[in-house]
Amino acid sequence: MIRPALNPRIVVWWFAAWLAFLLPPLSGQAQGSGARESVDRQDFDRELWEELTKELDYQDRTPVRRNEPEYRDHSEQEAFWATFFKVLAILAAIAIVGYVLANMLSGQPLFGPRNRRVEGQLSEITLENIEDHLREAEIDSFIQEAIRRQDFALAIRLHYLSVIKALIEGEWIRWKRDKTNGAYLREMGGQPLFQPFQEVTTIFEQVWYGDRAVGRGEFDRLQAIFLHLERTIRSGQRA
């Protein structure tokens, strides 16, 4: 049996058709592989880009290299202020210690009113000196000097010392340099002059320690109370 001869045109057409049928899947596979490769490359490039550009600032799409880290400036400022306040604290401590030592050496109290100076005609004396030598002190002249200077608070203080002196001389109380006003009040408790003595003690403490303002008119009224009590004490009346 003789086979018919193949037409070359038919062979070429058939081969072209078969090739056309196979090319779309191959091209799709190539495109898929290329796409995956592109994606992988894109992912890799993005990671690399982020790693290389993480120290860059983007403003208006212009990469700008950051300045030195800000924390370095903050650290230097914190160190400066820490040193400044440390020196300031040391100076304050030195000033406080100096103040305490100066007051201890001068005999002045750290708190409360300082001993005021009372100038006589020929000498200068402090309230502390008057209290130390209360029995011998001539208080009246110092009271008059304080009034002349219009230092009415000091005059009230001296009047109170004069009352204490009169009570000592009349043996109403026992004198002791470190006794408080409260101790004198307890010692006077139950005695006829307790009430007026308590009154002048309150006046003195309000004026001297409480900074109660005293003008000339108020002083004259208060002075009369002190003088009346002092005269009563010296007259020997106990009832």
Q: Note whether residue 126 is domain-resident.
A: yes
Per-residue pLDDT, 114: 47
Q: Note whether residue 130 is domain-resident.
A: yes
Is 60 exceeded by the pLDDT of residue 22? no
Residue 3 CB neighbours (<10 A): 5
Residue with tokens 């000498």: 123
Nearest to 230 by CA among 144, 141, 125, 140: 140
**Is residue 144 a contact partner of residue 227, using CB atoms and an 8 Å limit?**
no
Going by pLDDT thresholds of 50, 70 and 90, the confidence category of residue 87 is confident
pTM above the 0.85 mark? no
Q: Note whether residue 112 is domain-resident.
A: no
| 184, amino acid identity | Y
Q: Note whether residue 17 is domain-resident.
A: no
Mean pLDDT value across residues 8-20: 56
Query: What total of structural domains would you count in the chain?
Result: 1
Mean pLDDT value across residues 149-158: 92
Q: Note whether residue 147 is domain-resident.
A: yes
Q: Note whether residue 6 is domain-resident.
A: no
Backbone angles phi, psi at 18, to 5 degrees: -65, -40
* Segments forming the whole domain that contains residue 210: 117-234
Q: Note whether residue 133 is domain-resident.
A: yes
Angle ∠(22,24,27) on CA atoms, nearest 5: 110
DSSP state of 6: P
Span of 27-41, 61-75, 201-215 with lowest mean pLDDT: 27-41
**Is residue 176 a contact partner of residue 129, using CB atoms and an 8 Å limit?**
no
